[in-house]
A and B are shown apart, each in its own frame.
Chain A
């Protein structure tokens, strides 16, 4: 392709503080319309905003995690525009002096690191929601005044795939920090994109369009792919791109023009006089720095070296912070012979059980001890893999321990050599033809005999042991 794509992303994250950013209203999601409101977030005449300290702390923690410089001086500004869901007809936001600037994130593209620079991170208040009915529109102000963090990249993203990777990493970091649930369905993570194209080697940026209404990371990727192709097509035909805002239509999978920038508003920013400017001391920043946990990329690298994980496995295990912590505890406290069983069971059966229930593994109510106990039973040959999966399911459903379940359901694997030898003898005696086949070199015949033993023991025999016994018996 002779065109290069230039993308910048603007992500809004709703911070999971207990109360709103400038008043004491609850931030609970999904409550009856206009029940989480007060004179302040309703913007009634005479009220004044008071900054939520936790929202400020969270914002700076995010800035630090995104490698930003934290401004020594910051302030809030008023951004003016008329819209019915904005009760004061201005939004308290930040313009000239954002909290954090000049950060970066390193994403992995084809196993190569690529740096995406972060231009700024700033704190602002969210607007309400309009509910359009046939002839009237209703306003729900519950969301008004929710703390919103805006994270803006430089135009460093060169493909829809890179945009996707950036969003995954960003979300993972924010969730690690515990400052937002980043749930796109609830609107606690929103993403807009700026995209333009230009011929390779050209210095000037092309005319950009702004994309909105993407409700999932996949939608962002799809919208960007569509839009890149649309712009390249236009240029190939000798036409030009119009600077405008376009909405992603997920049903038709196209972008549609919303409003052109010629009508762009003058927001008339000016410093918010009701909130004193902010000056940050180094001790304060340091205190917040100390609250940052090990972040996913670092944890990933550590897991690779410390536990000898395969990159794929490590990536899966570090995706969620509490799952990663659960996994690490399992790995550390495992007293058995081979750690691989821990990794395989974390990524395998435990993860599938979690996925089935739309939960994360740490939410399955299986304690680290209980889980390791199960794995040790497998390793000791007291439980077959198949039976173990059944036991795991029951552990999750009932909260009971593995031992208890095995006992009550009589699932313990039979590794009693004397008993098994007698069963093997029976099977050998009643299948002379198959035994002959095996002895003549048909290796598969052995499996049939193993199956017969398993049948006779109702699946409880230790298959490895049975194989060994059969082999011994038939070769002697």
Chain B
């Protein structure tokens, strides 16, 4: 029997409306799945925390009642939202993020557990979570990607119907690629950031992680739009993205950036992505090689801008108002008690990667270094943006691999920050340019690991992204593949006895 929780949201909506399935059955299926498998996968955090209120129970079920799971950096009123960081332990926001308010207004329940992530979204593997790494459902020895690794793993394993993640440099697309699901980073300003605990304010966007492109279009429609609480959102009408799900790419002009198919790209991933491009050609798309000459600077520029903004955004975690407060023992310090409290709280509360990024960012903004680092990075960011503008004068979209590799082993890159940073090399530019990009599954390696295809388009042209993605998906089987998960023996017996 197919578990309801492994189905797409649009299929579940159909069943709910036709009364083939009840909301209670759906919720039970989801919770059983989590009980069976999440001890291994670790997609959700604080599962035993009775404090996180079951908001799913509060709603009156309707055809739209498909629970949405949220990354641990999206605020929900009264529910713990901790960014998987010790420093935010116990933080219950007194308000809902705008995306949450929008979902609730449409009658969608918010799932009670939050999804695992790299601490403050700092990472590409979800290994930097204070709750331990999320495992990839396709191979439990491998990472789920990151930072929205919990979201991608949960959707891939049927532990979530769909989810919202956040993407600062690839944090939605790369884990979606590693876990064989669909992930979309909207145009900067398309979705409100109000209530998203900020990593890098000029790069962050909330976006959907779903089982297929149709679900992605549906969820994007619900969360998009101008928000008076976020001055960086744009007052541009939100189209009905589900209307763009037309499998028609004839004469769509696709650019393939040559700078993305170079050393560092796994040959197997390269072959699979090139095959996907060939397939798009067969569907009628016009494909041509293009150049994004400043691509090689993207990682450097990103890590200056993102860490600079992060160092500022994270300054507020000081033990004064909320979260962790560590007080040093009295007596042996010459400095004021508050300063000692800041140091101890931040020292105890932040993980290694958070500390590294705060230091990097603080340095980049320091007097005497600002011009050489931050200001120069801003200038190169403009050049990167212009690269895209130029290509989009002629082309409708750009197609690339989402990540240079498939999911790597847990621990493999943990000691080498640079190699970890390079796993974002194909996703970072879309954030720097503020443009939309989607990742969708386009095949599997010999070892059975999913590969993601990335499509990038011009600002506020999510419709085209979804159309090209849907055309591909509609003619390929990849999105229907689901990982086989062996139920743990003990739990299984426990189930029988219970």
Contact = CB atoms under 8 A, between A and B. Distances in A.
Contacts of B122: none
Contact of A139 (B202, B230, B320): B320
B251 to A, nearest CB: 36
Interface in A97-153: 137, 139
A44 B195 CA distance: 9
B232 interface: yes
Contact of B232 (A42, A266, A274): A274
Contacts of B367: 266, 268
Given A50-B228, A268-B367, A273-B202, A45 B93 contact: yes
A51 B229 CA distance: 10
A134 to B, nearest CB: 14
B165 to A, nearest CB: 15
Contacts of B197: 45-46
A46 B198 contact: yes
B365 A46 contact: no
Contacts, number: 101
Interface residues of B, number: 45
Interface stretch (A77-85, A154-162, A449-457): A77-85
B298 interface: no
B193 A48 contact: yes
Contacts of A47: 95, 194-195
Contact of A46 (B196, B312, B320, B366): B196
Interface string B66-99: 0000000111000001010000100101110100
A88 B321 CA distance: 10
B323 to A, nearest CB: 8
Interface in B167-216: 193-198, 200-202
A178 interface: no
A459 interface: no
Interface string A34-51: 000001001111111111
B262 interface: no
A89 B231 contact: no
A46 B75 contact: yes
A91 to B, nearest CB: 11
Interface string A287-324: 00000000000000000000000000000000000000
B229 A48 contact: yes
B303 interface: no
Given A44-B94, A46-B75, A273-B309, A89 B366 contact: no
Contact of A78 (B91, B202, B312): B312
A159 B318 CA distance: 44
Contacts of B231: 48-51, 274-276
A270 B308 contact: yes
A83 to B, nearest CB: 8
A268 B366 contact: yes
Contacts of B95: 39, 44, 47
Interface centre among A39, A48, A137, A275 (most CB of B within 10 A): A48
Chain A's interface size range is: 20 to 34
Interface string B480-496: 00000000000000000
Given A46-B195, A268-B367, A39 B232 contact: no
B91 A90 contact: no
A266 B312 CA distance: 13
A78 B313 CA distance: 10
A45 B320 contact: no
A46 B97 contact: yes
B338 interface: yes
A87 B316 contact: yes
Contacts of B200: 273
Contacts of A89: 315-316, 318
A266 B366 CA distance: 7
Interface centre among B201, B231, B308 (most CB of A within 10 A): B231
Nearest to B320: A84
A44 B232 contact: no
A266 to B, nearest CB: 4
B315 A88 contact: yes
Nearest to B341: A84
Nearest to B91: A45
Interface centre among A43, A47, A266 (most CB of B within 10 A): A47
A48 B366 CA distance: 24
Interface string B229-246: 111100000000000000
B308 to A, nearest CB: 6
15 contacts: A44-B93, A44-B94, A45-B75, A45-B91, A45-B316, A48-B229, A80-B312, A80-B365, A89-B315, A268-B365, A270-B309, A270-B370, A273-B201, A274-B201, A276-B232
Q: Which 3 A-B pairs have the closest CB atoms?
A: A89-B315, A273-B201, A268-B365
